Amino acid sequence: MRKTIWIAPLLLLVPMLATAQQTERVDLNAIHRIKDEALGRDSKVMDHMFYLTDVHGPRLTDSKGYREAGEWAVERLKQYGLSNVHLEKWGPFGKSWNLEYYSGHMLAPMYQPIIAMPVAWTPGTNGVVTGEPLLVAAQTQEELDKFKGKLAGKIVLITAPRELQMVTTPLGVRYSDPELAELSTAQIQVPGLFGGRGGRGGRGGRGGIPGGLTPQAIQTFLKAEKPALVIQESTIGDGGNLFGGGQSRDANDNLPTLVMAAEHYNRIARLLEHQIPVKLQFEVKASFDDNVDSFNVIAEIPGTTKKDELVMVGGHFDSWHYGTGATDNGAGSAIAMEVMRVLKTLDFKMDRTVRMALWGGEEQGLLGSRAYVKEHFADPATMKPTAEHAKVAGYFNIDNGTGKIRGVYLQGNDMVRPIFEQWLAPFRDMGANTLTSRNTGGTDHLSFDAVGLPGFQFIQDPMDYGTRTHHSTMDVYDRIQATDLMQMSAIESSFVYLTAVRPEKLPRKPLPPPQPAGGRGGRGGRGN
């Protein structure tokens, strides 16, 4: 008797559980075929990588490499039989910049070729610049002012030398199980604290000066002084690798500026501190053109029964110019192209249209995706959705380097959790089974999220992204892990396919209130 008393409530629970977790129709036959195409010898993802990096890289927005890579992508996507393949103009971006030549040498006290790179949008030097450098390294405005009237025509070492520590931790890492478990726990945030943002958080500190002297104050000072060349030490990294960014795209008074590998910068600084004469020689050639508009790369597979509804997949196409833009973000671009190739090759009949978009100007603040979302879906400033806004089923983005997918950032959208849990199940044995309600920032899914569209970035293994490749001279083809890219291609293809054939569009968070300029989408500042 006692037993039946206990069993009855349990039986009542069963139908309740079944409704709480709606069963998704995951076509395992289709997933099997996707795996076969994306993971096998038919994979083309590393071939896309080769053309994006070795042949056409780097792809600084609107540079020669960016434009050539765009033309190449259009050609290839057309070869695959994709529809509506085109370069979609957006703008204005600002002047396009090409580095044409760099040469750097220490001539005295000993000869040494110098590892350095011009920062983006730097003008060329006025011919060959030879001279004794001046170590400024000011921490305060007062220290900087001591150099007033002394820098014209000089080679200026602007940053303080950085003491290098021995690296005792691995350069590249994957997420451990405890780290993924921690990531999957809910994080309740108090609005207003640290901007209320979760995820990876800011990279802060890069280029910060302890004495409170801002980079802007230094630039203003230098522009008044007019040195022949400004040299910064790479703020992170060592072993000859260097990391950098860019100057203003629109200013006409940028100074020729280099970022130098730490070991070489430090040698010069030590010699100067010992009053041993140093002679350096540099030459930089750069070209600008005033074609200020840029483009995103678009391609489609038309849907069948819901042709006007959209699943989008993408990542940013642009890179910095220090390496060839392999992990940032040749990887996400190559994978998005591969997703389109796989789905087209398998000739699935998908209800919704699948649209790939490779974005420009991400590194300067998600510019390409924000312009696209504003034009097609909604302007975050007014938050008045277009007719097309209602038709978007979901957007998937890859932009965290070469590490394989470990799960998905739900971006605070708990409604997709039971769906993605079932979609990830066929990839559990490939290490992808973590869902976190947390947000991740700094990349193009934010442009969609900012106007209430379900946009997602996958959780990826960190690898050597933060230590070696992100915005560095060593962001090159060799740092790409082929099997990781194949795994990502299979999972992203599968997510795009399942979104395209799902009876309903993915659930959405409520439409956010209007965000005045510089709001949500803009908070990320410069991209990842």
For the record, the structure tokens of 349 come out as 């009949």
Classify 167 as helix, strand or coil.
coil
Nearer to Zn ion, 300 or 399 (CB): 399
DSSP bridge partners of 472: 243
Least Å distance, CB 335 to Zn ion, is: 13
Task: Decide if residue 369 touches Zn ion (CB under 5 A).
Answer: no
Q: Which of 94, 3, 16 shows the shortest CA–CA distance to 368?
A: 94
Which residues, 70 to 109, sit near Zn ion by CB under 5 A?
none
Task: Decide if residue 283 touches Zn ion (CB under 5 A).
Answer: no
Least Å distance, CB 444 to Zn ion, is: 9
For the record, the structure tokens of 485 come out as 């890219």
Query: How far is it, in rounded angstroms, from Cα 390 to Cα 205?
Result: 41
Least Å distance, CB 520 to Zn ion, is: 19
Nearer to Zn ion, 467 or 528 (CB): 528
Nearer to Zn ion, 162 or 203 (CB): 203
Nearer to Zn ion, 426 or 527 (CB): 527
Task: Decide if residue 528 touches Zn ion (CB under 5 A).
Answer: yes
Least Å distance, CB 502 to Zn ion, is: 28
Judged by CB under 5 A, which stretch of 256-264, 289-297, 302-310, 397-405 contacts Zn ion?
397-405
Least Å distance, CB 409 to Zn ion, is: 15
Q: Which of 401, 320, 364 shows the shortest CA–CA distance to 527?
A: 364
Task: Decide if residue 364 touches Zn ion (CB under 5 A).
Answer: no
Nearer to Zn ion, 62 or 399 (CB): 399
Judged by CB under 5 A, which stretch of 60-68, 269-277, 327-335, 447-455 contacts Zn ion?
327-335
Task: Decide if residue 329 touches Zn ion (CB under 5 A).
Answer: yes
Nearer to Zn ion, 437 or 443 (CB): 443
Judged by CB under 5 A, which stretch of 4-12, 123-131, 289-297, 391-399 contacts Zn ion?
391-399
Judged by CB under 5 A, which stretch of 97-105, 218-226, 248-256, 395-403 contacts Zn ion?
395-403
Least Å distance, CB 58 to Zn ion, is: 13
Q: Do residues 321 and 58 touch, judged by C-beta distance below 8 A? A: yes
- What is the CA angle 63-64-70, rounded to 5? 90
Least Å distance, CB 320 to Zn ion, is: 9
- Give helix then strand counts, H and E, for the chain: 14, 17
Q: Token pair 């490779």 is at which residue? A: 358
Judged by CB under 5 A, which stretch of 16-24, 95-103, 206-214, 520-528 contacts Zn ion?
520-528
Nearer to Zn ion, 309 or 328 (CB): 328
State the number of binding residues for Zn ion (CB under 5 A). Answer: 4
Where do runs of H (alpha helix) occur along 25-154? 28-39, 45-50, 64-79, 141-145
Nearer to Zn ion, 338 or 399 (CB): 399
Task: Decide if residue 440 touches Zn ion (CB under 5 A).
Answer: no
Type of residue at 106: M
Task: Decide if residue 319 touches Zn ion (CB under 5 A).
Answer: no
Beta strand residue intervals within 415-502, DSSP E: 434-436, 455-460
Task: Decide if residue 37 touches Zn ion (CB under 5 A).
Answer: no
- What is the CA angle 359-45-465, rounded to 5? 65
Nearer to Zn ion, 172 or 315 (CB): 315
Q: Which of 436, 244, 224, 414 shows the shortest CA–CA distance to 322?
A: 244
Contact with Zn ion (CB under 5 A): which of 37, 283, 328, 492?
328
Longest pairwise C-alpha distance within the chain? 98
Beta strand residue intervals within 63-154, DSSP E: 83-90, 96-108, 112-113, 116-118, 129-131, 134-135
Least Å distance, CB 528 to Zn ion, is: 4
Query: How far is it, in rounded angstroms, from Cα 370 to Cα 155?
Result: 39
Task: Decide if residue 447 touches Zn ion (CB under 5 A).
Answer: no
- What is the CA angle 86-89-67, rounded to 5? 70
Least Å distance, CB 328 to Zn ion, is: 4
Task: Decide if residue 254 touches Zn ion (CB under 5 A).
Answer: no
Query: How far is it, in rounded angstroms, from Cα 449 to Cα 351?
Result: 24
Least Å distance, CB 463 to Zn ion, is: 14
Residue 145 CB neighbour total at 10 angstroms: 10
Query: How far is it, in rounded angstroms, from Cα 6 to Cα 49?
Result: 60
Nearer to Zn ion, 227 or 246 (CB): 246
Nearer to Zn ion, 105 or 203 (CB): 203
The CA dihedral of 255, 256, 257, 258, to the nearest 10 degrees, is: 180
Task: Decide if residue 53 touches Zn ion (CB under 5 A).
Answer: no
Least Å distance, CB 190 to Zn ion, is: 29
DSSP classification of residue 194? G
Query: How far is it, in rounded angstroms, from Cα 63 to Cα 460?
Result: 29
Nearer to Zn ion, 515 or 528 (CB): 528
Task: Decide if residue 399 touches Zn ion (CB under 5 A).
Answer: yes
Query: How far is it, in rounded angstroms, from Cα 435 to Cα 406?
Result: 9
Task: Decide if residue 300 touches Zn ion (CB under 5 A).
Answer: no
Interface residues toward Zn ion, by CB under 5 A: 328-329, 399, 528
